[in-house]
């Protein structure tokens, strides 16, 4: 079996193009499997995986769990809100206690950037980053790139704009790394206050005008305004944000070509995206969710094959 160049999936930044292509090829195979009447394969029998979530999640947590079950792994789920973290237990103690139960892989979501990297240093298990604060969300970027390839046939040469709250988004950073490695042109678009100061150094185009950004792109990946991460006001009101940056049918109809619409979810209908766009024939939002299971199966399968030094 071909292997990834890394024992952990901590981010997209440290993956090679060959790693990305191997994950996509493997996901293609698993997508065939999950469309069969019998959706389960024995690939990860006797492997135990802990899903350790310190932040809320619907799509990522459920699709990791489903991917693990489709691969016949044993699965345990940990949610910080109902755990002994509430009694003061640290991240390292929590995970070491989970590992004492003989766990092979840990899927972790945490609000602190670098939490998965910290665990990878101290824990003898394959670590998968399911989102670390405002830093990276690698499996989301993988499923996004896979979905673009599936829809448009290729990624190289395609123009992708990421719209909205880039400043607080882990999806944006992982998408930028993945798409650039695969040869796409990437633009970010949003109000100046929601664009990080370092963004120009990442080699992306920057556009403040949403209509110009939509006219430029083949694909628009629209992000949620992450109010839960905002301690100060970055724009006067949600109403004003929607007026200037909300993607609606009128904006799409004004373009001279159809574009593909993506969103990592959860979507805030009527804020960053309107229902007549989210539910339109141009939207691949639910295909992204479907592809999330195959991509996570591929990542788990390939990392399990890599093992971990004991």
Candidates 186, 265, 272, 285: give the one binding ligand CP (CB under 6 A).
265
Nearest in space to 66 (alpha carbons), one of 26, 42, 48, 39? 39
In the bound state with ligand CP, the residue whose beta carbon lies nearer, of 14 and 226, is 226
Candidates 157, 183, 203, 266: give the one binding ligand CP (CB under 6 A).
266
Within 10 angstroms of residue 298's Cβ, the number of other Cβ atoms is 27
Candidates 14, 43, 57, 248: give the one binding ligand CP (CB under 6 A).
57
* DSSP per-residue codes, 219-281: EEEE----GGG-SS-SSS-HHHHHHHH-B-HHHHHTSSS--EEE--S---BTTTB-HHHHTST
* Least spacing, CB of residue 137 vs ligand CP, in Å: 6
Torsion of CA 281, 284, 290, 295, to 10 degrees: 150
The mark string for 85-124 relative to ligand CP (x by CB under 6 A, - otherwise) is: ----------------------------------------
In the bound state with ligand CP, the residue whose beta carbon lies nearer, of 207 and 288, is 288
Within 10 angstroms of residue 216's Cβ, the number of other Cβ atoms is 18
Decide: helix, strand or coil at residue 144: helix
Strand ranges for 19-158 from DSSP E: 48-53, 74-79, 105-110, 126-132
Verify binding: residue 193, ligand CP, rule CB under 6 A: no
* Least spacing, CB of residue 228 vs ligand CP, in Å: 11
The mark string for 132-171 relative to ligand CP (x by CB under 6 A, - otherwise) is: -----x--x-------------------------------
Q: How many residues bind ligand CP (CB under 6 A)?
A: 10
Verify binding: residue 287, ligand CP, rule CB under 6 A: no
In the bound state with ligand CP, the residue whose beta carbon lies nearer, of 59 and 69, is 59
In the bound state with ligand CP, the residue whose beta carbon lies nearer, of 96 and 112, is 112
**Burial profile 231-252: b = 16 or more Cβ within 10 angstroms, e = fewer:** eeebbeeeeebbeebbbeeebb
Distance CA 201, CA 191 (A): 18
Stretch that binds ligand CP, among 55-63, 91-99, 146-154, 236-244 (CB under 6 A): 55-63
The footprint of ligand CP (CB under 6 A) covers 57-60, 131, 137, 140, 264-266
């Amino acid at each position: 079996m071909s292997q990834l160049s890394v024992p952990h999936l901590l981010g997209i930044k440290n993956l090679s193009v060959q790693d990305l292509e191997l994950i996509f090829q493997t996901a293609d195979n698993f997508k065939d499997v999950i469309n069969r009447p019998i959706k389960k394969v024995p690939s990860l029998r006797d492997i135990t995986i802990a899903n350790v979530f310190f932040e809320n999640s619907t799509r990522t947590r459920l699709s990791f769990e489903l991917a693990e079950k489709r691969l016949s792994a044993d699965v345990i789920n940990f949610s910080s809100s109902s755990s002994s973290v509430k009694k003061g237990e640290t991240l390292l103690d929590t995970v070491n206690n989970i590992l004492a139960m003989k766990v092979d892989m840990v899927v972790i979501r945490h609000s602190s950037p670098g939490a998965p990297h910290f665990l990878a240093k101290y824990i003898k298990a394959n670590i998968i980053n399911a989102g670390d604060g405002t830093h990276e969300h690698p499996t989301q970027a993988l499923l996004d790139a896979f979905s673009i390839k599936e829809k448009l046939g290729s990624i190289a040469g395609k123009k992708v704009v990421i719209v909205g709250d880039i400043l607080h988004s882990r999806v944006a950073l992982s998408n930028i790394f993945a798409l650039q490695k695969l040869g796409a042109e990437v633009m970010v678009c949003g109000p100046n206050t929601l664009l990080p100061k370092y963004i120009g150094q990442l080699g992306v185009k920057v556009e403040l005008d949403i209509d110009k950004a939509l006219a430029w792109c083949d694909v628009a990946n629209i992000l949620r305004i992450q109010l839960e991460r905002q301690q100060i006001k970055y724009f006067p009101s949600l109403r004003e944000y929607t007026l200037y940056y909300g993607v609606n049918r009128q904006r799409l109809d004004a373009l001279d070509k159809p574009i593909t619409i993506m969103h990592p979810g959860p979507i805030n209908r009527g804020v960053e995206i309107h229902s007549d766009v989210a539910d339109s024939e141009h939207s691949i939002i639910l295909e992204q969710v479907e592809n999330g299971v195959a991509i996570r199966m591929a990542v788990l399968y390939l990392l399990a094959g890599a093992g971990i030094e004991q």
